[in-house]
Amino acid sequence: MSVLKNNSNGGLSVNRLLATLPKNEYKRLLPKLKTVNLILGEELYEPGEAIKYVYFPNDSIISLISELSETSWLEVGMVGNEGMAGLPVFMGVSSSSTRALVQGSGTAMRMSSAAVRKEANRLGSLHRLLHRYSHSLLNQVAQSSACNRFHLVNARLARWLLMTNDRLGLEEFPLTQEFLSTMLGVRREGVSKAAGALQAAKLIRYSRGMITLLDRRGLVAKSCHCYTIIKAETDAYLN
Amino acid sequence: MSVLKNNSNGGLSVNRLLATLPKNEYKRLLPKLKTVNLILGEELYEPGEAIKYVYFPNDSIISLISELSETSWLEVGMVGNEGMAGLPVFMGVSSSSTRALVQGSGTAMRMSSAAVRKEANRLGSLHRLLHRYSHSLLNQVAQSSACNRFHLVNARLARWLLMTNDRLGLEEFPLTQEFLSTMLGVRREGVSKAAGALQAAKLIRYSRGMITLLDRRGLVAKSCHCYTIIKAETDAYLN
DNA sequence: ACACATATGTGTGCTAGCACACATAACACT
DNA sequence: AGTGTTATGTGTGCTAGCACACATATGTGT
């Protein structure tokens, strides 16, 4: 076995929502949590189907996707170590109309829906945090909504890469333009053009489904202000 | 005094969220609730400012608006008698990054943020309903997000008019094209064109800021499927 | 080395919605 | 009636992103 990182981030990053819990509450939850490996492309739940588990990503990323038709997909939210995928369960609903797709491989802490439902009936730190996270996620979705409506593909691509980078903690990650086109809600050709522009500006490098961020600051400059806004809100709620 | 309706809907419709509460819980809340008149264009809270009250619309409508710049505004959510404006307060956050604007005149039940915060610490029917409503609202925002990205102005206008009609309970309501352009995130000229098309098809009539729906079924046909999806989810959560 | 699947680049129309600039119409107030 | 304000219609470019159709890499497996 290699001495190299055995997951995409060397296990260094942990779920910040869980990490914010007071020790005793975390200890109480621990037996209900199981570390699992999430793999790019894996589907965690589908629209209309019962959600079996919720996930607290460590160094993985989960995309929440809305589908209008077979061909029109759009990422409406991104869940990383700052949050939890499966909020509907906590909210007392067994299924969601969005799809949860693993967008970045890595580990996550998994909890059964039954356990989550029990937690929803107990007022405590987790309850309080999940409330604040819900608000943060709603803001993210709202901001992205306006962003997707008004901003150009180049800026949105830059924002998306930055958000992914923040959550994976890596400068290099595997992603095809095809996949990106789904996330951004544009055609694959559009991604090709936008990514080409970013590469020409030496901000990223990519080849056959592997993207490397070269100049984070430059990307922020190219991205829309939405990135900063979303990041600020996401970071703020954990305090 | 006239015997005619003294508010836009004759006071017939009541907030369905509150109406769903068991009697004893409703009675407990009643002293904290005050009926207020909301007037088109009124601002209930602004981004970053402390939210003083939450609102349970009876026959009024409140728009949740995201602003990217001075000129780029977009409605990200619509709150009517199915819900409550001011969810952030319940979630333990004192302000929101979205703006709440009265989009349809009428009455609403108002509750102070302090009272809401107390309720958030009490597990009961209101708590449970607000959880389910949060989920419903998130779905609405997510669906609209994709809709705004992919669907044409005509269809989105039709959807918007139907959603407004559902909440106001009226076929006729005051709205300028200017206002509509903000809601839909398009230029005023675009609304003029789209509204002209709907009028030519005898689905609506309008003049100087007053819109009349003439053919509801026809509008549903012109609107995107998003209308039906959002309506189904909104209606479902109250059961 | 070879075939094959996958990933990416590019080119030609086409269209919705933009920006800007007016023209017209309806109402409100005196 | 006259005047000003607000609401709406329209016309001329312009552009981003679409649809469709290929061309061209760059792996992978045998």
Instruction: Give yes or no for B131 touching A (CB within 8 A).
Output: yes
Which positions 175-214 of B are in contact with A (Cβ < 8 Å)? Answer: 185
Beta bridge partners of A63: A78, A101
Going by C-alpha positions, the residue among B184, B213, A152, B162 that lies closest to residue B193 is B184
Among B109, B138, B86, B189, residue whose Cα is nearest residue A86: B138
Q: What is the DSSP letter of A95?
A: B
The distance (Å) linking the CA of A52 with the C1' of D27 is 37
Distance between CA atoms of residues A221 and A228, nearest Å: 10
Give the C-alpha separation, B26 to A174, whole Å: 53
Distance CA B109, CA B55 (A): 6
Two tokens at B125? 């029917």
- Separation between Cα atoms, residue A22 and residue A30, nearest integer Å: 12
**Could you read off the pLDDT of A58-108 as tens digits, one per residue?**
999 999 999 998 888 999 999 999 999 999 999 999 999 999 999 999 999
Q: Is the dihedral of CA A168, A173, A175, A180 positive or negative?
A: positive
Query: Tell me, in Å, how far CA of A206 is from C1' of D28?
Result: 19
Q: Which DSSP state fits B85?
A: B
Lookup: nucleotide whose C1' is closest to A193 CA: C9
Q: Supply the pTM of this predicted model.
A: 0.94
Q: Which helix (H) or strand (E) holds B41?
A: none
Q: How far apart are CA A121 and CA A195, in angstroms?
A: 46
Give the tens place of pLDDT for each residue, B18-71. Answer: 999 999 999 999 999 999 999 999 999 999 999 999 999 999 999 999 999 888
- Summarised one tens digit per residue, pLDDT across range A197-213 is 999 999 999 998 999 99
Q: What is the four-CA torsion angle of A83, A85, A89, A92, rounded to 10 degrees?
A: 50
**Helix (H/G/I), strand (E/B), else coil: A186:** coil
* pLDDT per position as a tens digit, B105-129: 999 999 999 999 999 999 999 999 9
CA B157 to centroid of chain Cα atoms: 15
Which residue, among B86, B107, B83, B109, has the nearest Cα to B17 in the 3D structure? B83
B210: nt with nearest C1' to CA: D7
In this structure, the number of other CB atoms found within 10 A of the CB of residue A70 comes to 6
Per the structure block, which two tokens stand in for A178?
A: 């095809």
- pLDDT computed for residue A12 by the predictor: 61
B150/A148 Cα distance (integer angstroms): 10
Share of chain B above pLDDT 90, in %: 91
Q: Cβ of residue B151 near strand D, that is under 7 Å?
A: no
Asked if B159 and B146 touch (Cβ cutoff 8 Å), the reply is: no
Contacts of B88 (CB under 8 A, 6+ apart): A135, B51, B94, B95, B96
**A208 neighbors A147 (Cβ within 8 angstroms):** no
B73 vs A156: CA distance, rounded Å: 17
pLDDT digits (tens, 9 = 90+) for B121-153: 999 999 999 999 999 999 999 999 999 999 999
A230 vs B239, which has greater pLDDT?
A230
pLDDT at A2 over 50: no
Cβ A91–B132 below 8 Å, yes or no? yes
